[in-house]
Amino acid sequence: MNWQGWAEIALTLGLALALGWPLGIFMSRVWNKESTWLDPVLKPIERGFYAVAGIDPNKSQGWVGYGASLIAFNLFGFILLYAMLRLQGILPFNPQGFAGVSPDLAFNTAVSFVTNTNWQSYGGETTMSHFTQMVGLTTQNFVSAATGAAIAAALARAFAGNRETGIGNFWADLVRTTLYVLLPLAFVLAVALIGLGVVQNFAASVSATTLDGASQTISVAPTASQLAIKQLGINGGGIFNVNSAHPFENPNPLTNLMTAIAINTLGWAAFFAFGRSAFARKEIRALATAGILILGAGAGVIYVAEAQPAPALVAAGIENPVNMEGKETRFGLAGTAAWAAQTTGASNGSVNGMHDSLMPLGGGMSMLLMMLGEILPGGIGSGIAIMVVMAVLSVFVAGLMVGRTPEYLGKKIEAREIQFAMVALLVVPLSTLGLSALTVVWPGGLSSLFNPGAHGLSELLYAFTSATANNGSAFGGVSANVPWWNTTLGLAMLLGRFIPIVAVLAIAGSIVTKPKLAPSTGTLPTTGALFIGLLVGVIIILGALQYFPALALGPIVEHFQVLEAVAAN
Amino acid sequence: MLNQARPAIVSMLLFSAILGGAYPAVVTAAGGALFPAQAEGSLVRNAEGVVVGSKLIGQVTTSPGYLWPRPSAAGDGYNAAGSSGSNLGPLNPVLIERVAADAAAVRAYAPEGAIPPDAVTTSGSGLDPEISPEFAALQVDRIAEARGIEPSEVVAVVAANTEAPLLGFIGQARVNVLMTNLALDSAYPLQPAAE
C-alpha cells in the first residue's frame, strides 16, 4: 500500500460522485420532460419513435399500467434476444462462424442481459458473433439500464405528487432516458476510448507472427461501442472473456480511470435526479453520503486485503508477496481494488482483475457490497429506488422507537409501504441463500466448482449473490455453462430483478395517492448526521444478519486459513 | 396486456435498429476515421509489413535475448483468441506449486535480486503486454549476454519503453515487452545463431 494507491482510489470514487451531480440535474430534466440542449437533434427522433410505436407519452399511467408496460417490454426483449442467440448460426456478421447457442445458455444469457445483470456463462470471443454482441447484447445494455432508470423516475413522481394516481408514462421514461442520457454519453465515451486504444472493427481476428516465429491469433471485435454502454449503463458484460482486464477493453490507466468512473457516475446521477424530481435534494444528499461512506470503506478493505501477504508468494520466498495473481501490471493493487468495490457496489459486474483470485477478505468484501442491496450507488435508478426503500425502513424503525407514524419526504409510511418494502428486500436473501443451498445438495451441483475448500463455497455463494443482485461479476473459475447452473442462475436474476421492481412500483402507487405533508416538530429529520448514521446502521445490520453465517463458512474461514498458512512459513 | 404488445414489440425493434445497428456502425466509422491504428488493434508491423503482434497484447518470447513476459493462464500462454486468468484461489495447492516453479525459473537466469510479484503471477487477462520495471531489471544481464552488449545499453532501451503512472499516481509504472524487444532488435540485432 502507498499514498499513490489511496489517492487513486479516492480520486476514482470521488470523481464518479462529483460528475453524477451535473448529470443528475440533466437526467431529472429528461424525466420531467423539461427542455434540454439536445432537443433540436433528438426531439424529432423522439416524436417519430412515439408515432411508429403508437405511444402517447403524455398519458400518465397508474402503477399497475406502468408495471404492465415494463413487463411487456422486457418480456418481448427476452423473446427477441433468446431467438437471436439460438439462431446465431444463420444470422449475418458472424465471421468466426459461431453456431447457435444451447437452450439453457440462451435462456441464461437472454435473462442476464434483459435484467441488467450481464452474468456471462460463456467466453465472448469464443461464443458470440458480432451480430449477437451488437444487435442483441449492446441493445439490451441500453434498454435494461433505461428500464432501471424508469423505476426511479416513477418513484420520484410518487413522492412529489399530492393525492394523485399516475406515476408517469413508462414508454416516455424509457425512450427519453435512452435517447437523451445514455446514447449521447455512450457515443462520446466510445469514440474517446478508441482514441486511447480500445479496438473497434468487424474483422474475425488478426494473425500475427511473433518474435519467436510462432503464429498468434488475436481476437478483435466492435469493442468500444459495447464497452462504453456496458459501463455507463452499469451492465458489465464484456466483449471478451476476461472483460475489462483485457488490454483491448482497458488498455491503460487512463481508460481504467474513465471506465471506472463510468461504472458509478450515472448511478449517482440517478440519486441526484431523484432528489431534484422529488423536491428532496437535501434528503437525497444524505442518502448519497451514506452510500459513498460505505463504498469508500469497502474499497479500503479490499485494498488492504490485497496488500496482505499471499501464501503462495510467501512460500516461494518473494520479498514483497502481495497478491498480483489475476491482476494486470498497469492497474496494480489499488486500481483493481477501487474497481472491485465500484463494480460490486454498483450492479455493474465488469472486472479488471480476476475476483476468484482475490484474497479472502477482498473477495468477501466484493460479495458483501452486492449483498447490501446494490445501492452503492447500484444500477441507474434501481439503486436509488432500493436506497429509498432502505430509508423508508429506517424511518419506520425510528418511528417504532418513539411510537409515531413515520414519514419520509412528506409522505406517511404505513403498513402497505412496509409490506412491499419487505418483499423487495427479502426476496434477495431468499433467492441467494435458497438457491445456493439447493445447489450444494443437488446431485452434481458442486462439480462446477473450480477451487477446493472454503474457496469453493465462496465461488458458489458469489455466483448466486451476483445473479440475484443483478451484478454479473463472478468468481470466474466456476463452470457455470451447464444446465443446472444456467437455469438456477437465470431464475435468481429474474427473482432479483422483477420482484423488487414490482414492489417498488406498488410502493410508488400507494405513496402517490397520499397527501404531501409539511414537516412538523415531530417529524424525524432525514438530512443530518443522525439519520445518515441510522441509515448506515440499518443497511449494514440488515446485510450482516442475513448473510453472516454464509460468509463465515466461505471468505471468513478462508481468511484465517490464509493467516495460518502465512505464519507457517 | 394486449394493448401493451404494439409499443413493446415496435419499440424493441426500433431500439435494436438504433442502438444495435446505427450506434455501433457510427462509432466504428468515427473510430476508423479518427483513430485508424487503434481501431484496428494497435498492430505492430515489421519492415516487411508483416504483423508481429499488437502493442496491447502480450506474446510468448523464449529467446534469452528478449524480455520475457509474465506467466500466462490464457491457453498454453498468451492465447489471444481465448483470454483467461488462472482463477486460482489464494490457498489453491496448484497456485502454490506453480508460483514456486515460476520463482525457480526466474532464479535460473537471475540468481541475485528480489523477485517482484508480477514475475511469478499470471495476469487477469492472460494477455498482459507489460511487466514491472523491477521484473525487467532482473532480465537485463541475460539479455545483455545473449546480445553481446553492455547491461547499461539494455537498461537504456528498457527505460525508453517504460511508462510512469499517469500524473504520478494513477496506475503503475510498467515496461511494454513487445516494444522493448523491437527496440532491442533495431538497435542491437541478435547475432545469427552460428555458434
B-chain CB neighbours of A242 within 8 Å are: 83-85, 124-127
| Sequence-separated (6 or more) residues with CB below 8 Å from residue B39 | A194, A199, A200, A201, A224, B28, B31, B32
Q: Which of A189, A211, A226, A243 to mutate to test the interface with B (most CBs of B within 10 A)?
A: A211
Q: Give the tens place of pLDDT for each residue, A351-401.
A: 999 999 999 999 999 999 999 999 999 999 999 999 999 999 999 999 888
Residue A500: inside a domain, yes or no?
yes
Q: What is the ipTM of this complex?
A: 0.95
The residue to which cell 490457498 is assigned: B91
Closest chain A CA to residue B66: A211
Residue A365: inside a domain, yes or no?
no
How far apart are the CA of A459 and the nearest CA of chain B, in angstroms?
10
Whether A209 sits inside 8 A of B50 (CB atoms) is yes
- The residues in B 7-46 lying below 8 A from A, measured between CB atoms, are 7-16, 18-21, 23-24, 26-28, 30-32, 34-35, 38-43
**Is the confidence at residue B194, as pLDDT, over 80?**
no
Please give the pLDDT value at position B192. 58
Q: Which of A45, A325, A336, A564 to mutate to test the interface with B (most CBs of B within 10 A)?
A: A325
Task: For residue B195, name the pLDDT band (cuts at 50, 70, 90).
Answer: very low
Helix ranges restricted to H, A377-520: 382-402, 415-441, 454-468, 483-511
Q: In chain A, what's the furthest Cα-to-Cα distance?
A: 80
**pTM score of the predicted model:** 0.96
Please give the pLDDT value at position B2. 66
Chain A touched by B117 (CB under 8 Å): yes
Q: Tell which residue, A408, A403, A415, A427, has the closest CA to residue A498.
A: A427
Q: Considering Cα of B138, then B139, then B145, then B149, what sign does the dihedral take?
A: negative
Whether A8 sits inside 8 A of B169 (CB atoms) is yes
**Is the confidence at residue B193, as pLDDT, over 70?**
no
Residue A401: inside a domain, yes or no?
yes
Residue A335 in contact with residue A457, Cβ under 8 Å? no
Count of Cβ atoms closer than 10 Å to residue B145 Cβ: 14
Per-residue DSSP letters for A415-447?
Answer: HHHHHHHHHHHHHHHHHHHHHHHHHHHSTTGGG
| Sequence-separated (6 or more) residues with CB below 8 Å from residue A161 | A167, A511, A512, A516
User: What is the spatial order of strands in the sheet that B130-131 belongs to?
Assistant: B130-131, B174-176, B162-163
Helix, strand, coil percentages in chain B from 3-state DSSP, rounded to 5: 50, 10, 45
Size of interface A-B (CB pairs under 8 A): 389
How far apart are the CA of A188 and the nearest CA of chain B, in angstroms?
9
Q: Give the tens place of pLDDT for each residue, A214-253.
A: 999 999 999 999 999 999 999 998 889 999 999 999 999 9
Q: What CA–CA distance (Å, rounded) separates A251 from A234?
A: 20
Per the structure block, which three cell numbers stand in for B13? 425493434
| Sequence-separated (6 or more) residues with CB below 8 Å from residue B175 | B67, B130, B131, B132, B133, B135, B136, B158, B161, B162, B163
Name beta bridge partners: B175.
Answer: B131, B162
Q: Which residue spans within B60-195 are E strands per DSSP?
A: 130-131, 162-163, 174-176
**Structural domain harbouring A405:** 389-559
B-chain CB neighbours of A211 within 8 Å are: 52-53, 59, 61, 63, 66, 178, 181-182, 185
Whether A321 sits inside 8 A of B90 (CB atoms) is no
Cα dihedral A327→A328→A332→A335 (10° resolution)? -90
Phi-psi region of A498 (alpha: psi -120 to 50; beta: other; left: phi over 0): alpha
Residue A198: inside a domain, yes or no?
no
- Any idea what the Cα angle at residue B135 is, between residues B131 and B141, rounded to 5°? 125
Residue A531: inside a domain, yes or no?
yes
SS3 (DSSP) at B11:
helix
Residue A205 in contact with residue A220, Cβ under 8 Å? yes
Please give the pLDDT value at position B191. 64
Residue A406: inside a domain, yes or no?
yes
Q: How many CA atoms lie within 13 A of A533 on its CB side?
A: 4
Please give the pLDDT value at position A405. 84
From A3, A76, A196, residue closest to B8, measured CB to CB? A76
Residues in chain A: 569
Q: What is the DSSP letter of B66?
A: S
The residue to which cell 511494454 is assigned: B176
Please give the pLDDT value at position B79. 95
Residue ranges for chain A with pLDDT beneath 50: none
Residue A352 in contact with residue A288, Cβ under 8 Å? no
Residue A255 in contact with residue A198, Cβ under 8 Å? yes
Q: What CA–CA distance (Å, rounded) separates B154 from B82?
A: 32
Which pairing describes strands B51-54 and B162-163: parallel, antiparallel, or unpaired? unpaired
- The residues in B 143-172 lying below 8 A from A, measured between CB atoms, are 163, 165-166, 168-172
What mean pLDDT is predicted for residues B71-98? 95
The residue to which cell 412528506 is assigned: A410
Q: Tell which residue, A153, A117, A227, has the closest CA to residue A489.
A: A117
Closest chain A CA to residue B34: A195
Q: What CA–CA distance (Å, rounded) separates B10 from A25?
A: 30
Q: Tell which residue, A276, A312, A328, A182, has the closest CA to residue B58.
A: A328
Whether B81 sits inside 8 A of A205 (CB atoms) is yes
Residue B97 in contact with residue B116, Cβ under 8 Å? no
- Give the count of domains, chain A: 1
Question: CA-CA distances (angstroms) from residue A496 to A373, A503, A544, B40, B93?
Answer: 10, 11, 18, 39, 35
A-chain CB neighbours of B39 within 8 Å are: 194, 199-201, 224
**Is the confidence at residue B4, as pLDDT, over 60?**
yes
Q: Give the tens place of pLDDT for each residue, A496-515.
A: 999 999 999 999 999 999 99
Q: What CA–CA distance (Å, rounded) separates A145 from B177?
A: 39
Residue A409 in contact with residue A278, Cβ under 8 Å? yes
Q: What CA–CA distance (Å, rounded) separates A258 from A232?
A: 10
How far apart are the CA of A199 and the nearest CA of chain B, in angstroms?
4
Residue A16 in contact with residue A345, Cβ under 8 Å? no
B176 phi, psi to nearest 5 deg: -80, 120
